């Protein structure tokens, strides 16, 4: 049993609450946003066949959350974008259909909130030095559990979502758990206020 004894389903729920957020976290966030009275739409071009993702998709369909196939058109009617394309484990080249999406995120004037890592960024070194994603700088980053080294390259507002972290886990992995106010699931912190 891992530290904390959380299942993947539970971790996605907790991560989704923190943005209300990559992949499954974004689906959970869309569900929470819908329950909070927003009208999210979801761009999900490569649907997973796993039971977990099928259940998350069905939950959204039951809430009449719109799944869109045309990202540029959806972007034109949005007022905010939650970037949950790739998680912190992303590496390598961005391939279609995600290249066009990240290019659109680079060019949009809409505020973008990235979940854990801006899509296309390397978890250690930040944005790519050239090509798609090199000019992608979201307005907001929500780090899940703890900030990642890429924070050294981030210029926007930074939040941490990880109120569920036990002190023993923070001690084991040598990171600080910020103080959360009231019932908040996220806390805003500056990039210099946290241990990477």
Summarised one tens digit per residue, pLDDT across range 163-177 is: 888 888 889 989 888
What span, in angstroms and rounded, lies between the C-alpha atoms of 65 and 42? 7
Banded model confidence at residue 26, pLDDT cuts 50, 70, 90: confident
> For residues 64, 116, 155 and 85, what is the CA-based torsion angle, rounded to 10 degrees?
-50
Residue with the bigger pLDDT between 23 and 194: it is 194
Pairing of strands 112-115, 81-83: parallel
pTM for the full predicted model:
0.84
Give residue-wise pLDDT tens across range 31-67: 999 999 999 999 988 888 888 888 889 999 999 999 9
Q: Is residue 1 part of a domain?
A: no
Structural domains of the chain, count: 1
The whole domain housing 68 covers 8-188
CATH number at residue 145: 3.40.50.10260
CA–CA distance, 68 with 10 (Å, rounded to integer): 26
In a domain, 2, yes or no: no
Q: In this structure, is residue 14 part of a structural domain?
A: yes
Listed in sequence order, the DSSP H helices in the chain are 8-19, 24-35, 51-62, 71-76, 98-107, 167-172
- Residue 57 domain flag: yes
- Give strand pairing partners of 144: 161
Domain-embedded: residue 115? yes
CA-angle at 159, arms to 154 and 162, nearest 5°: 125
Residue 35 lies in a domain: yes
| DSSP symbol at 122 | B
Task: Kindly state whether residue 91 falls inside one of the protein's structural domains.
Answer: yes
- Asked if residue 176 belongs to a domain, the reply is yes
Site of tokens 């066009």: 100
Instruction: Say if residue 93's pLDDT is above 90.
Output: no
> For position 62, what pLDDT does the model report?
97
């Amino acid at each position: 049993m891992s530290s904390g004894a959380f299942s993947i389903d539970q971790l996605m729920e907790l991560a989704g609450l923190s943005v209300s957020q990559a992949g499954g976290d974004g689906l959970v966030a869309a569900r929470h946003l819908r329950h909070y009275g927003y009208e999210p739409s979801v761009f999900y071009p490569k649907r997973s066949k796993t039971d977990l993702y099928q259940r998350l998709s069905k939950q959204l369909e039951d809430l009449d959350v719109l799944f869109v196939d045309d990202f540029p058109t959806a972007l034109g009617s949005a007022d905010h974008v939650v970037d949950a394309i790739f998680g912190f484990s992303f590496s390598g080249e961005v391939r279609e259909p995600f290249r066009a999406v990240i290019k659109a995120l680079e060019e949009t004037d809409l505020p973008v909130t990235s979940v854990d890592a801006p899509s296309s960024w390397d978890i250690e070194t930040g944005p790519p030095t050239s090509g798609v994603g090199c000019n992608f700088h979201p307005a907001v980053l929500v780090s899940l559990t703890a900030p990642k080294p890429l924070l050294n390259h981030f210029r926007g507002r930074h939040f941490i979502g990880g109120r569920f972290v036990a002190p023993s886990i923070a001690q084991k992995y040598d990171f600080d758990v910020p103080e959360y106010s009231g019932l908040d699931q996220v806390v805003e912190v500056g990039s210099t206020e946290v241990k990477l």
